[in-house]
DNA sequence: CCAGCCATGTGGTCCGACCACTACGGCTGG
DNA sequence: CCAGCCGTAGTGGTCGGACCACATGGCTGG
């Protein structure tokens, strides 16, 4: 019954001891992926095997896996196994939405400032590169947004409108960041108050301006229109804070 | 064998059933913070109490806590308790570094493109707003970087140089994002090859140009210098990919 | 030959025990 | 009386095992 000594014999480990066991496991797996020993889409060993390999309990290994799961690095399929995600921008930047959801006050303005910078550049790039097909999708959402007065639907198409433009800019990473910066709950929180001031008409005009610039393939006009569009919301939010 | 009915009797729960128990716990805690029921810095109930409150096991609750910990929302202090972080930009955007570390190939270029856009704007803002104290810190790192030839130290001061500028721009969120975009391992990976081409001299000149623009409080010059600085690395990396 | 069942293996959940560390308060010695 | 030590209760961290829910693929029976 004296299994106490069994622990001492394991002293031949490489990393002496730093941080919690789970934290080390997270780093180990991250390193495996970083070094290319685990390819995107590849299936990992079972939780039980992984735990055995790293010499930790299954509980700790599960915490490590859960952590990497919320980070968008791993994906667990019940009954099937654990897989490495495609490690695409969308996978890894999903957590960005959490930042937007939990930010308040001054930080919301900072977030919008970042969005203004990125969105204006993305829209300018889109104006130069957008294809007829992509332009058609943008127009589709623009029309759908003007055809309804259900706030939910308006927000959804507003989001899709900007997403389509970001995609046309040809930088998936930027598109994913902007997606997070405009996450559903974030928009809902801001729009509630913003729309009460009859800002919908102004929004419609601003969207039309952006659309015109895209059709004309005029990057500078697109940049200005997009910056003004986000800037409007930004200024309104700034004024709200002063209250 | 008919233990099937035992499940049906539990129908008196608030959330019917969606996703895993742990996932629900994560959302619940996130919601508590979002609704303001948990203030930054506040201490949470013990793991055991929290698990009991949500009607789940301690194991599942621990996974939820671990998930929120890696997201920078919670902080667990061994022997003391679990606390909500200050929810500042730095806390929540720490995970951004993971994206940079795990990205490869074309995505690295996209990442640098985002950085170029943000860094150039941040540097322009800094040129307009920087105070003598902040400028002194920038110069300190600039001098330290030129005074040594230890690659590790150079990278460290290079990072600090840009961080100081981002801080001077007055947008902590942007600074935190840029910090993640220039994470240690990310820089190390790129620099290894970049410096081999004797790019250090060019880097030094570019930093000097940025510094001059800051001293002159010339936003446009600062924007151009910063964009060129990041653009150089970007172009080099792009050429590497073509190989 | 094919549909449907079932054995197997996987992640998901729970339990209970113990360890490592912190914090706090009482106790001791000056 | 006070300072400092020390014990103790309480917390997060780790472990091992058991069982459940689900996915898969082979097998069986038609």
How far, in Å, CA of B147 to CA of B125, rounded?
A: 28
Last residue of a domain, one of A87, A112, A134: A87
Q: Identify whether residues A24 and A128 lie together within a single domain.
A: no
**Per-residue pLDDT, A152:** 84
User: How many domains does the structure of chain A reveal?
Assistant: 2
Q: Is A93 on the interface with B (CB under 8 A)?
A: yes
Tell me which chain A residues have a C-beta less than 8 angstroms from the C-beta of B62. 59, 63
Q: Identify whether residues A56 and A113 lie together within a single domain.
A: no
3-state secondary structure of B179: helix
Q: Identify whether residues A76 and A118 lie together within a single domain.
A: no
Q: Identify whether residues A177 and A105 lie together within a single domain.
A: yes
Q: Identify whether residues B226 and B160 lie together within a single domain.
A: yes
CB A42 within 8 A of CB A73: no
Q: Identify whether residues B116 and B230 lie together within a single domain.
A: yes
For residue A115, what are the domain limits?
A: 92-242
- Angstrom distances, CA of residue B149 to CA of A16, B139, B145, B154, B157: 31, 17, 8, 7, 11
Q: Identify whether residues B46 and B103 lie together within a single domain.
A: no
Q: What is the mean pLDDT of chain B?
A: 90
In the numeric block, the tokens 């201490």 are attached to B43
B69 exposed, middle or buried (CB, 10 Å; 0-12, 13-18, 19+)?
buried
How far, in Å, CA of B11 to CA of B184, rounded?
A: 51
CATH code for the domain of B11? 1.10.10.10
Rg of chain A over Cα atoms, rounded to whole angstroms, equals: 24
Among residues B52, B62, B64, B68, the alpha carbon closest in space to that of B22 is found at: B64
- Is A101 within 8 Å of B30 when comparing Cβ atoms? yes
Any strand C atom closer than 7 Å to A47 CB: yes
Mean pLDDT of B209-235: 97
- Is B172 within 8 Å of A99 when comparing Cβ atoms? no
Pick the residue of A26, A171, A230 with the most B CBs within 10 A to test the interface with B by mutation: A171
Span B109-118, pLDDT tens digits: 999 999 999 9
- Angstrom distances, CA of residue B166 to CA of B118, B179, B221, B237: 9, 9, 16, 23
Q: In tens digits, what is the pLDDT along chain A, a chain of 243 residues?
A: 344 333 333 334 445 577 899 999 999 999 999 999 999 999 999 999 999 999 999 999 999 999 999 999 999 999 999 999 999 999 999 999 999 999 988 999 999 999 999 999 999 999 999 999 999 999 999 999 989 888 888 889 999 999 999 999 999 999 999 999 998 888 888 887 777 777 788 899 999 999 999 999 999 999 999 999 999 999 999 998 887
How far, in Å, CA of B74 to CA of A92, rounded?
A: 20
Mean pLDDT of B56-84: 98
How far, in Å, CA of B2 to CA of A192, rounded?
A: 50
How far, in Å, CA of A216 to CA of A213, rounded?
A: 5
Span B31-69, pLDDT tens digits: 999 999 999 999 999 999 999 999 999 999 999 999 999
Q: Rounded to the nearest 10 degrees, what angle do helices A106-129 and A172-181 cross at?
A: 140
- Is A173 within 8 Å of B114 when comparing Cβ atoms? yes
Any strand C atom closer than 7 Å to A46 CB: yes
Residue A170 backbone class (left: φ over 0; alpha: ψ -120 to 50; beta: rest): left
Residue B14: pLDDT above 90? Answer: no
Mean pLDDT of B75-97: 95
Q: Identify whether residues A53 and A124 lie together within a single domain.
A: no
- Angstrom distances, CA of residue A182 to CA of A110, B113, B123: 13, 20, 25
**Per-residue pLDDT, B152:** 84
How far, in Å, CA of B90 to CA of B185, rounded?
A: 18
């Amino acid at each position: 019954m004296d299994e106490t000594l069994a622990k001492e014999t394991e002293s031949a480990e490489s990393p002496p001891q730093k941080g919690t066991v789970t934290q080390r496991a997270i780093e180990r797996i991250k390193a495996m992926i970083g070094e290319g020993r685990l390819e995107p889409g590849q299936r990992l060993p079972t939780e039980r095997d992984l735990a055995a390999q790293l010499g930790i309990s299954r509980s700790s290994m599960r915490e490590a896996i859960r952590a990497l799961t919320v980070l968008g690095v791993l994906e667990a399929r019940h009954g099937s196994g654990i897989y490495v995600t495609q490690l695409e921008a969308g996978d890894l930047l999903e957590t960005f939405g959490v930042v937007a959801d939990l930010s308040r006050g001054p930080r919301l303005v900072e977030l919008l400032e970042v969005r203004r910078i990125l969105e204006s550049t993305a829209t300018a790039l889109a104006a130069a590169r957008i294809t007829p097909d992509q332009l058609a999708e943008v127009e589709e959402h623009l029309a759908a947004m003007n055809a309804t007065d259900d706030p939910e639907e308006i927000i959804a198409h507003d989001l899709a409108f900007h997403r389509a433009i970001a995609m046309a800019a040809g930088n998936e990473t930027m598109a994913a960041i902007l997606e997070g910066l405009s996450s559903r709950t974030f928009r809902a929180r801001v729009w509630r108050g913003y729309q009460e001031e009859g800002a919908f008409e102004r929004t419609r005009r601003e969207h039309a301006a952006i659309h015109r610039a895209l059709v004309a393939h005029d990057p500078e006009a697109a940049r200005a229109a997009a910056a003004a569009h986000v800037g409007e919301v930004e200024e309104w939010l700034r004024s709200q804070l002063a209250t």
